[in-house]
A and B are shown apart, each in its own frame.
Chain A
Amino acid sequence: MSTTEEDRTPEPRVLGVPRMGLVVLIGVSGSGKSTFAAEHFAPTQVISSDHCRGMVSDDENDQSASADAFALLHTVVDIRLRRGLLTVVDATNVQSRVRGELVRIAKDNNVLSTAIVLDVPEALAKERNRGRPDRDFGDHVVRRQRRELRQGLKRLSREGFRRIHVLRGPEEIDGATVELERAWPDRTELTGPFDIVGDVHGCREELEELLGVLGYELSRDGEGRPVGARHPDGRTAVFVGDLVDRGPDSPGVLRLVMGMVADGDALCVPGNHENKLIRALKGAKVQATHGLAETLEQLGRESEEFRARVLAFCDGLVSHLVLDGGRLVVAHAGLKEEYHGRASGRVRSFALYGETTGETDEYGLPVRLPWAREYRGKAAVVYGHVPTVKAEWLNNTICLDTGCVFGGKLTALRHPERELVDVDAHRTWYEPVRPLSGTPPEDGERRADDTVDITDVGVGDGVSAPGLYVETADGAVRTDSGSTLSALEVMSRFAVDPRWLLYLPPTMAPAPTAAAPGLLEHPDEAFAYFRGAGTGEVVCQEKHMGSRAVAVLCRDGEAAERRFVPGELGTVYTRTGRPFFQDPALRAEVVDQLRRAVTEADLWDRLGTDWVALDGELLPWSAKARPLIREQYASVGAAARASLPAAAAALRAAAARGVPVDGLADKVALRTEQTEAFSRVYRRYSWDTDGAAGLRYAPFAVLASEGREYTDADHLWHMAIAERLAEAGGLVQPTRYRVVDTTDPAACGSAADWWTDLVSAGGEGMVVKPVLGARAEGRKGLVQPGLKVRGPEYLRIVYGADYTDPERLAVLKDRNLGRKNSLAMREHKLGLEALARHARREPLWRVHEPVFAVLALASEPVDPRL
């Protein structure tokens, strides 16, 4: 606490103000607060009561609007402080009650409050007020305000202000400057690289060994005791606290760490054991339990000077550190996101002890709240405090306390490399109260990071949803409220276990509408698109007419348990995440056949993995869509086949009687032809299957395998893998394809002929993709990963049997593809992001977020015929 009230120096005053915090200006009306605020702070940082009064009443001096004005002011202050913004309140603030409310808001947001008092002579304030026509209140008001101010000055520090600056007289006010100070935990300018070391607890030998393994060179004093360590590459060690207690040589550990910190080779945050040691060293009555007795006994053999240094060192440690541009937070017991970089008793207590439920477990130890499970922040939080068997990442947090003093290990984390380095304890130095737990914060049947929160999918506000805002490597993608809620229902009720869902296929846009007469789609337009985008060669893949199917296949149960769902060896799901096969036996049979193909194609070894995810098409269409084909397609054909001949017969009879019905008869004849053409389409994609017999799977992409995703691989590689799988036999079917240089008209022409052959033979059409793969970029960045070019006959089951009527076609050619293209691109970005996050082994909620967003976008309205 630095009260500068007594400072009466003539030099210009420099007012220290925490960068993240609240500044309360205090002064009577006419003391120059607004002028002062305008001079020293940005306009958006200053919240003035007059301005708020104006906003709620159109009159900045309407005192009857004060209650509403302050309600608004408090709301704005609260929001700004929650967001970590410096906020200056420009109001008289002469009453203790008014200031108390502001300090409370600051405390709620765990930021510090600073008071700046502008104390001007009463006469000057009165004179200034008289010069302002809108201030028509009497002099008695200023007098009363001044009296209140005077009374309150002494109380300011008790009111909770951590800094109080009193400026007396206009000269001092005019001469003062404000210096923004960053919060103590804010060391974002340090970029390391860092080696963060877990709880040492007096295990000096193991610490020396670990620092050696990490590459530090130790320096020793005359007695051979280590007093420093420096890394030749300039790395910085960071200690998570609990250097002392329980272990054999707490003074030795302190000597080494204090030396490293003093030399700038290390940083350190306090642990709860240091906190207790401070109180013991200061002479407070503390219970010498949990190993404190050993430490005090060991320190007792040290010099008084050393003990003083220890006290000063421990007392000067800052609760937590925010490092590396905000990417790394180190706190002894961890820290939830809203506390990062903040300063308050609450934050310090959380950082030292964590948050507990108030209950104790069967060993009498406090039950901790699982803050890490709910952690969703961008900064990696590295902590210690809770001894565990193995350091494991959980939602971008990791606990490095691997119980060295209990005979476990001493562990360090390299940042930003995210490599763990550990050394074994030389012995069990101290018996634990309870056995070390498996995973932090506690062991459960599910991995702790398998829990997805409702807020992770953009829901959680009464009966509406804010929607998702997903940051992808290629820009942010939003989902709106309605589609988010639709996706919630589908995901909750129909989707496979989200742990399987590493990806949902994006929708694919059709080629721009064909210029050629009589056609809606033609390869020329697809080639032109990629030529225009500057992506060079494309691959044309035959489009199988079946149902989209993602297959996730595990080599063994261990892989399934580690990465997906225990107890199953794989799954096949649809483009909306539903299980492709409802029957578990059939699902197992298909998974098994596909796993066999992967084994025979030697993919496990070739890809160096024990699981693989494939994207492809499962045939026949009727395998999944039989009810749809029956109800929506074949029924139309049946009704037409029953009605049209009867109509034709009636018309023939009428015509024979000389009734003029020729036009109508022609139309019926045309409809009859079109109906047959329409029926031919869906018949071709329907055949009987019996279990897995008759099913075919045509993979066209390897999505991912352990630690790897393949969106950067070119399509020739993907096609080669697909061919190998098909050669292995079983139900895998190859995909015909050809590579086309879009700048070569002859090649384009021959590819268009190939397409014509495909669709004339009953094919659905083809897909044109940049040969470089899903991440292919054109001159303006990411391009569509593929465009479909569907055949004219196939389109009858999309646009209706009669869409080829010239007048209908003319209308249809006017179709608008903008929305479809945009959706396809947004879903593509989400798909890439989901695979990337999964490959980085990010927690389930992080993978689920873009996957869920794809499902949400899939429910956005768009012409379903595209």
Chain B
Amino acid sequence: MLLTITTTAAPATDLGFLLHKHPDRAQSFEQSFGTAHVFYPEATGERCTAALLLDVDAQALLRARTSVSSPDFSLAQYVNDRPYATSSLFTVALGRVFRSALRGSCRARPELARTPLPLELRMPAVPCRSGAERARALFEPLGWTVDAEPVPLDPGLPGWGDSHYLSLTLTGTVRLSEALSHLYVLLPAMDGSKHYWVDRSEVDKLLRAGGLPGAAPRTAVDGPSAAGEATPSAIAPEAPGEDGDGTDGPDADVGWLAGHPERDWITHRYLNRRDAYVRTALARIAEAEGLAEGDGADDPAAEEAETAPPAEGHDERVPTLAEQRAGAVMAVLEAEDATSVIDLGCGSGRLLARLAADRSLTRVTGVDVSVTALEHAHRRTCRGCDPGGGRRHRPLPALTGGAVGANGAPPRPELLVGSVVYRDRRFSGYDAAVLMEVIEHLDPSRLPAMEESVFGAARPRVVVVTTPNAEYNTHYEGLADGSLRHSDHRFEWTRAEFARWGDRVAEQYGYRLRRLPVGSEDPETGSPTQMGVFVR
């Protein structure tokens, strides 16, 4: 909530001209979420300090509905660090209050605006979960000397360690406009959570603040914001230099962002990890640098992929393993001449998309317990179910039980919300069922319920089960002994444990089991994934 900017360039009080704020006055600027105050704790010829103090209004913050949310903490709207931390709210205020300074325009001292000045920027509580190292890696390449001290969590809770805030002091000789643009981009990147919805206009804001020349809106490429992605513009920052040329500095090259060694990380974080936007931004940087165009920037498929979450239950530690696994399942289904398949725990639909594309299958259904996952699966697999035509699709809730596809045919794949630990008639009638990386997400005590539901009640001819092979974990660097590959895994079995379970299930429910490795096989530890094929 506090930033102090100190300069020792004589006469230091010229800082007032650069900031367009008089050193002897206290000024207030109303923001939708509170009031920004600017005042000068010191203002002499030798040393001048301007302070930007943001007083956040808790009530106003509440009105910005997207401000802070936390899936596990419903009180986050009421109890949060926004009034005190140097967050995206703060950078919004910075962009507004010091708008001209950020642009580098100063009629009174135009030369000074273009001159690197000895500056010291202080912020007492900068949220940065990745620590002081990260702060140094971000600011040092830009010419700053970085003093980053972790803020202790609580003196009343000894032994709880440090908080995720840094007390940050930057010293260096930098143009004021550039110094402000560094904060404008890097503070939210360090924080990693924006209080407003990130849409395509953020790409332009980032590139302009990063000093990329000609970073004007490119609607032809970007297209309009998708419907429903309304920006609460009252609380989102305006892009600096939106109404100016923004490139009047003497060293107007491709800007500081393009050459920053952490460019990709910054872009990724600034854009709230929205992959399609990240790709667009990086491609445009590459373009400006005269390099080959980045891949997939304008690919509509990239747009689809952007929202696919890390597939729940589809481990991605080895990037190709997930594909190998899906391929292995497809191969087994083909070898077994499966005619219809139900994918139990389909997640975001990685396998389901391949199943749906296999025309030898008469019926394909995906089941997941998470409606959100099914939404993603729907987007990934739907080839157009909107009566309006084209590749547009209806939102998932519109696809109820008896829904039909675009031309009256049954939807493909069919999607069901369901759970393998409850018996479900809808699981019956398929030739094959797949449980790909699902069982390890069930508590062991719930496995018998799953067995009863799948092997006992649904009883497809073929059941394919894949699960991690715990023995293989030694090959994963950074995975401590005995720890699991995914935080939601309830267990990971050795080959012997999987065999014991599988043999028992096969025996109890009248199936024959064969087990196959998936992924590159190691002579000692076996393959990363193990697969069981139950046939009756």
User: Given contacts A496-B445, A632-B76, A646-B2, are A640 and B419 in contact (CB under 8 A)?
Assistant: no
Most chain A Cβ neighbours within 10 Å, of B55, B369, B422, B423: B422
CB-CB under 8 A from B474, the residues of chain A are none
User: Given contacts A643-B84, A679-B154, are A638 and B369 in contact (CB under 8 A)?
Assistant: no
User: Given contacts A446-B448, A630-B160, A646-B2, are A659 and B39 in contact (CB under 8 A)?
Assistant: yes
- Produce 1/0 per residue, B276-297, CB < 8 A to A: 0000000000000000000000
Asked whether A38 is an interface residue with its Cβ less than 8 Å from the other chain, the reply is no
The one of B43, B399, B424 in contact with A453, judged by C-beta atoms closer than 8 angstroms, is B424
**B452 lies within 8 A of A633 (CB):** no
Within 335-390 of B, Cβ neighbours of A (below 8 Å) are at 369-371, 374
CB-CB under 8 A from B508, the residues of chain A are 445
Query: How far apart are the CA atoms of A497 and B151 in the complex, in Å?
Result: 42
CB-CB under 8 A from B453, the residues of chain A are 451
Asked whether A1 is an interface residue with its Cβ less than 8 Å from the other chain, the reply is no
CB-CB under 8 A from A609, the residues of chain B are none
Within 205-259 of B, Cβ neighbours of A (below 8 Å) are at none
Query: How far apart are the CA atoms of A724 and B93 in the complex, in Å?
Result: 60
16 more CB-based (< 8 A) A-B contacts, given A461-B401, A492-B420, A644-B84 = A446-B448, A450-B449, A451-B423, A454-B419, A497-B443, A497-B445, A637-B154, A638-B165, A639-B151, A642-B125, A643-B84, A645-B124, A647-B51, A660-B26, A800-B58, A801-B79
Asked whether B299 is an interface residue with its Cβ less than 8 Å from the other chain, the reply is no
CB-CB under 8 A from A459, the residues of chain B are 417-419, 422
User: Given contacts A446-B448, A634-B157, are A661 and B39 in contact (CB under 8 A)?
Assistant: yes
**A485 lies within 8 A of B75 (CB):** no
Asked whether A529 is an interface residue with its Cβ less than 8 Å from the other chain, the reply is no
User: Given contacts A445-B448, A679-B156, A808-B58, are A653 and B1 in contact (CB under 8 A)?
Assistant: no
Closest beta carbon of chain B to A375's beta carbon, Å: 13
**A446 lies within 8 A of B452 (CB):** yes
Asked whether A477 is an interface residue with its Cβ less than 8 Å from the other chain, the reply is no
**A654 lies within 8 A of B51 (CB):** yes
CB-CB under 8 A from B2, the residues of chain A are 643, 646-647, 650
**A808 lies within 8 A of B59 (CB):** yes
The one of B55, B127, B159, B371 in contact with A667, judged by C-beta atoms closer than 8 angstroms, is B55
Within 158-177 of B, Cβ neighbours of A (below 8 Å) are at 159-160, 163-165, 167
- Produce 1/0 per residue, A453-471, CB < 8 A to B: 1111101111111000000
Query: How far apart are the CA atoms of A519 and B51 in the complex, in Å?
Result: 36
CB-CB under 8 A from B141, the residues of chain A are none
Within 487-505 of A, Cβ neighbours of B (below 8 Å) are at 488-489, 491-493, 496-498
**A452 lies within 8 A of B423 (CB):** yes
Query: How far apart are the CA atoms of A29 and B37 in the complex, in Å?
Result: 88
Within 445-476 of B, Cβ neighbours of A (below 8 Å) are at 445-446, 448-449, 452-453, 456-457
Asked whether A635 is an interface residue with its Cβ less than 8 Å from the other chain, the reply is yes
**A802 lies within 8 A of B39 (CB):** no
Asked whether B432 is an interface residue with its Cβ less than 8 Å from the other chain, the reply is no
Closest beta carbon of chain B to A678's beta carbon, Å: 8
CB-CB under 8 A from A485, the residues of chain B are 371, 417
Asked whether B24 is an interface residue with its Cβ less than 8 Å from the other chain, the reply is yes
Asked whether B403 is an interface residue with its Cβ less than 8 Å from the other chain, the reply is yes
- Produce 1/0 per residue, B135-166, CB < 8 A to A: 00000000000000001111011011001110
Can you show 14 pairs from A to B with CB atoms below 8 A apart? A444-B452, A451-B449, A451-B452, A459-B418, A461-B401, A463-B374, A464-B417, A496-B445, A630-B153, A630-B160, A639-B85, A641-B151, A650-B41, A680-B156
Closest beta carbon of chain B to A512's beta carbon, Å: 21
Asked whether A628 is an interface residue with its Cβ less than 8 Å from the other chain, the reply is yes
CB-CB under 8 A from B51, the residues of chain A are 647, 650, 654
Query: How far apart are the CA atoms of A496 and B444 in the complex, in Å?
Result: 10
Asked whether A562 is an interface residue with its Cβ less than 8 Å from the other chain, the reply is no
- Produce 1/0 per residue, B398-420, CB < 8 A to A: 01111100000000001111111
Asked whether A683 is an interface residue with its Cβ less than 8 Å from the other chain, the reply is yes
**A798 lies within 8 A of B75 (CB):** yes
- A-B CB proximity, top 10 nearest: A462-B401, A653-B41, A638-B163, A864-B74, A639-B84, A492-B419, A683-B156, A642-B125, A646-B124, A454-B424
CB-CB under 8 A from B417, the residues of chain A are 459, 462-465, 485, 488
**A640 lies within 8 A of B84 (CB):** yes
A-B pair number, CB within 8 angstroms: 228
Asked whether A473 is an interface residue with its Cβ less than 8 Å from the other chain, the reply is no
**A639 lies within 8 A of B39 (CB):** no
Chain B interface residues (CB < 8 Å from chain A): 1-2, 4, 24-26, 37, 39-43, 49, 51, 53, 55, 58-59, 70, 72-76, 78-81, 83-85, 122, 124-125, 127, 151-154, 156-157, 159-160, 163-165, 167, 369-371, 374, 396-397, 399-403, 414-426, 441-443, 445-446, 448-449, 452-453, 456-457, 488, 508
Query: How far apart are the CA atoms of A497 and B125 in the complex, in Å?
Result: 44
CB-CB under 8 A from A802, the residues of chain B are 58
**B163 lies within 8 A of A634 (CB):** yes
Asked whether A664 is an interface residue with its Cβ less than 8 Å from the other chain, the reply is yes
CB-CB under 8 A from B399, the residues of chain A are 462-463
**B79 lies within 8 A of A800 (CB):** yes
User: Given contacts A488-B417, A493-B441, are A654 and B39 in contact (CB under 8 A)?
Assistant: yes
Closest beta carbon of chain B to A585's beta carbon, Å: 14
Query: How far apart are the CA atoms of A440 and B78 in the complex, in Å?
Result: 55
CB-CB under 8 A from B397, the residues of chain A are 463-464
Closest beta carbon of chain A to B16's beta carbon, Å: 12
Asked whether A267 is an interface residue with its Cβ less than 8 Å from the other chain, the reply is no
Query: How far apart are the CA atoms of A688 and B39 in the complex, in Å?
Result: 44
Closest beta carbon of chain A to B376's beta carbon, Å: 13
Please give me the residue from chain A that is nearest to B73 by CB atom: A632
Query: How far apart are the CA atoms of A841 and B179 in the complex, in Å?
Result: 71
**B167 lies within 8 A of A642 (CB):** yes
Closest beta carbon of chain A to B445's beta carbon, Å: 4
Query: How far apart are the CA atoms of A622 and B403 in the complex, in Å?
Result: 48
The one of A451, A630, A639 in contact with B81, judged by C-beta atoms closer than 8 angstroms, is A639
Closest beta carbon of chain B to A463's beta carbon, Å: 5
CB-CB under 8 A from A429, the residues of chain B are none
The one of A488, A639, A650 in contact with B419, judged by C-beta atoms closer than 8 angstroms, is A488
CB-CB under 8 A from B448, the residues of chain A are 445-446
**A632 lies within 8 A of B75 (CB):** yes
CB-CB under 8 A from A498, the residues of chain B are 449
**B415 lies within 8 A of A639 (CB):** no
Asked whether A285 is an interface residue with its Cβ less than 8 Å from the other chain, the reply is no
**A811 lies within 8 A of B160 (CB):** no
The one of B37, B58, B419, B443 in contact with A664, judged by C-beta atoms closer than 8 angstroms, is B37
**B40 lies within 8 A of A654 (CB):** yes
Query: How far apart are the CA atoms of A622 and B49 in the complex, in Å?
Result: 42
User: Given contacts A446-B452, A650-B51, A688-B159, are A636 and B81 in contact (CB under 8 A)?
Assistant: yes
CB-CB under 8 A from A636, the residues of chain B are 79-81, 84
Please give me the residue from chain B that is nearest to A862 by CB atom: B74
- Produce 1/0 per residue, A614-634, CB < 8 A to B: 000000000000001011111
Within 645-680 of A, Cβ neighbours of B (below 8 Å) are at 645-647, 649-654, 657-661, 664, 667, 671, 679-680
**B154 lies within 8 A of A638 (CB):** yes
CB-CB under 8 A from A579, the residues of chain B are 443
Asked whether A686 is an interface residue with its Cβ less than 8 Å from the other chain, the reply is yes
User: Given contacts A457-B422, A634-B157, A647-B2, are A865 and B43 in contact (CB under 8 A)?
Assistant: no
Query: How far apart are the CA atoms of A811 and B78 in the complex, in Å?
Result: 14
**A463 lies within 8 A of B400 (CB):** yes
**B369 lies within 8 A of A657 (CB):** no
Asked whether A797 is an interface residue with its Cβ less than 8 Å from the other chain, the reply is yes
**B84 lies within 8 A of A865 (CB):** no
Closest beta carbon of chain A to B458's beta carbon, Å: 11
**B415 lies within 8 A of A463 (CB):** yes
**A654 lies within 8 A of B26 (CB):** yes
CB-CB under 8 A from B39, the residues of chain A are 650-651, 654, 659, 661
The one of B53, B75, B369, B443 in contact with A650, judged by C-beta atoms closer than 8 angstroms, is B53
Asked whether A799 is an interface residue with its Cβ less than 8 Å from the other chain, the reply is yes
**A633 lies within 8 A of B151 (CB):** no
